[in-house]
Chain A
Amino acid sequence: MKKLVLLASLLGVGTVGLAPSDALGGSTATGAHCQVFNYQFATPPPFQRHVNAISHGLYDQNAQLLGVTCTFPTENTLSTTVNWRARVFDNSTTAAVTCYANAFNQDGGTVASSTVKTTSVSGTGTSTLSGTISVSPQSSSYTYGVTCTLPGNQSAIYSARVY
């Protein structure tokens, strides 16, 4: 009987421990959710080569960088250290993909920015850029974004996530 009670207790604790309400929060955007913004007052053509990605529209290796931002809805389950990552395709031999993450207040103003991450060697294909952003204290009114510049020759961003 004691064993039964112990087993039931363990099952109960396990059930509570894995309840959906305690799952880690986060938000993901495919590249198609990302938006182009005017970077350095010039906007090369974006191109949706895949339905789930946004790409630089030019085949020129030395083309003007394409500014892309992926924004996420408010996540009030995130901690004060927000992780971010972006899956990118660097297809230029002369320039790199660069990304960083932002936290915005409810007025859309930047309150914090992460360090900048860059693909290590240009033209290396697909890679993941990642980092963290400190937000203290966390607020349910904050929103987050991952901002990148894509070099030419069809470089792309496939997905981005904060968690």
Chain B
Amino acid sequence: MTTRDDRPRAMIWLALPGAVALVALGVVVGRAQVRPAALNPAQEVAPSPGATDDRRIAVLEQELRRLRAEVAAGAEERARSEGELAGAPRDVEQETELDPGEQERAATAGRLEYLDGLSQRVETEPRDARFRAETEPALLRLLPEHLGPDVQLNDVVCAASVCRVTVSHPGSARLSEERLTNFMLGRGALGEMSVQLDVREDGETTFYFLRGDG
């Protein structure tokens, strides 16, 4: 038989299991709702041993959706950058799109600049006495021999690695290619030198003989 003093103690014994049950429910609900925002995928695809198959499938589906999204974003990015590349003019395409006359003028200007550079080299290079002694007589002999008696050698200068010879041919604007070929094939010791030709002036051709292939 209970007395009036025993009532609060009985209430405590009744309320305690309820409170424990409430706390346990809160913990379960809280863990289910408050999931980490960025879980390691490895952890997700390898759930704890107690996880159910449904949860495992849900995690895998979520991972699959994320991968699909990444692949789609990558493809979009690739397509965008390819489009930008296709829109950007490439050097070669730009060159072919240039007006042919412009191309030719640019090439001619570049060529003259290169030949002027060779001429400057003849002026500024130190003289190689031995090279000069071997080469200048050969030039003076072989050029008239193959190019014909109607040409005149105006300037024969050899520096250390390059020689310059200016040939006048007042009877024709250009040297005959036939004679030029005969000279190139019959140039003997001069065949160890490559040749650059400056034909900017009618009636005059300047030869640059460079040691080796230049």
Could you tell me if A112 and B194 are in contact, using CB atoms closer than 8 angstroms? Answer: yes
| A149 cross-chain contacts in B, Cβ below 8 A | 185
Could you tell me if B195 and A116 are in contact, using CB atoms closer than 8 angstroms? Answer: no
Could you tell me if A133 and B177 are in contact, using CB atoms closer than 8 angstroms? Answer: no
**How far, in angstroms, from A137 to B182 measured CA to CA in the complex?**
26
**How far, in angstroms, from A159 to B80 measured CA to CA in the complex?**
47
Interface check B107, CB cutoff 8 A: yes
| B191 cross-chain contacts in A, Cβ below 8 A | 100, 115-116, 118
> Shortest Cβ distance from B169 into chain A, in angstroms?
13
| B212 cross-chain contacts in A, Cβ below 8 A | 115
> Shortest Cβ distance from A142 into chain B, in angstroms?
8
Could you tell me if B213 and A109 are in contact, using CB atoms closer than 8 angstroms? Answer: no
Selected from B111, B185, B194, the residue in CB contact (under 8 A) with A115 is B194
Residues of chain B at interface, number, CB under 8 A: 33
Q: A1-B70, A136-B114 are in contact. Are A98 and B194 (CB under 8 A)?
A: no
| A115 cross-chain contacts in B, Cβ below 8 A | 191-194, 212-213
**How far, in angstroms, from A134 to B208 measured CA to CA in the complex?**
12
Count: A-B pairs, CB below 8 Å: 89
**How far, in angstroms, from A147 to B191 measured CA to CA in the complex?**
13
> Shortest Cβ distance from B24 into chain A, in angstroms?
38
Interface residues of A in 42-99 (CB under 8 A from B): 67, 76-77, 81, 98
Q: A114-B213, A133-B194 are in contact. Are A140 and B182 (CB under 8 A)?
A: no
**How far, in angstroms, from A101 to B70 measured CA to CA in the complex?**
56
Could you tell me if A112 and B196 are in contact, using CB atoms closer than 8 angstroms? Answer: yes
* Chain A interface residues (CB < 8 Å from chain B): 1, 5, 8, 12, 21, 37-40, 67, 76-77, 81, 98, 100, 102, 106, 108-116, 118, 131-134, 136-137, 139-141, 147, 149
